[in-house]
């Protein structure tokens, strides 16, 4: 699956992407915010992730930044569409943060989710990563009120508190079409 947004190109991850992926994710500050990436992150981890991406049931997309010199991989975004309520996740490499790329990529992924017939998605962020919460809220995710201890492989497998969010894609679509007054919708889903 491919998605072109205003500034980004979301595309499948290929085995050849492992070097770029490794350069972007081999950063303790990135990995410590992810549940399933180990630390230290090794070249073999990047190779395995990229090789398995085509065979996985999960939708894993490279976030690339097209330009005159190519389209470097600046992050990854994904979800597992086979789940009843898919969990979305993403990371952006240092040097590309604070430019709205995570929000733009997430908006693209939500458009793909709608095409796939997905009606609801969920997400979470560790409490020490409020920037990710800002991205989720910007796209219409609502806090569920749940804060859950979640394993963080990048922190040695320790349990870390994570705030949970959900998004009803039908409701979001209705709001975009002006059919629902956002002030009347519930805070928690």
CATH assignment of the domain containing 59: 3.40.630.30
Q: What is the DSSP letter of 133?
A: H
State how many domains the chain has.
1
Q: How far apart are CA 67 and CA 80, in angstroms?
A: 29
Domain housing 32: 3-184
Q: How many Cβ atoms are within 10 Å of 30's Cβ, its own excluded? A: 20
Mean pLDDT by 10 residues, the chain (189 residues): 96 98 97 95 97 90 96 97 94 97 98 96 97 97 97 95 97 58 42
Most distant pair of Cα atoms in the chain: their distance: 50
Domain membership flag for residue 95: yes
Asked if 32 and 43 touch (Cβ cutoff 8 Å), the reply is: no
Residue 189 domain flag: no
136 domain residue, yes or no: yes
Does residue 52 form part of some domain?
yes
Q: What is the pLDDT of residue 184?
A: 42
């Amino acid at each position: 699956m491919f998605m072109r947004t205003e500034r980004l190109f979301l595309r499948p991850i290929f085995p050849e992407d492992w070097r770029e992926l490794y350069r972007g994710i081999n950063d303790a500050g990135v990995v410590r915010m992810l549940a399933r990436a180990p630390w230290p992150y090794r070249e073999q981890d990047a190779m395995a992730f990229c090789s398995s991406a085509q065979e996985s049931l999960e939708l894993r997309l490279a976030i690339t930044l097209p330009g005159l010199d190519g389209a470097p991989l600046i992050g990854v975004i994904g979800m597992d569409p086979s789940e009843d309520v898919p969990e979305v996740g993403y990371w952006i490499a240092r040097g590309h943060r604070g430019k709205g790329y995570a929000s733009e990529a997430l908006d693209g992924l939500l458009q793909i989710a709608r095409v796939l017939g997905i009606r609801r998605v969920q997400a979470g962020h560790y409490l020490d990563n409020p920037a990710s919460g800002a991205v989720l809220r910007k796209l219409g995710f609502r806090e569920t009120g749940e804060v859950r201890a979640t394993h963080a492989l990048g922190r040695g497998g320790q349990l870390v508190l994570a705030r949970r969010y959900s998004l009803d894609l039908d409701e979001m679509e209705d709001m975009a079409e002006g059919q629902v007054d956002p002030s009347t919708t519930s805070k928690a889903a």
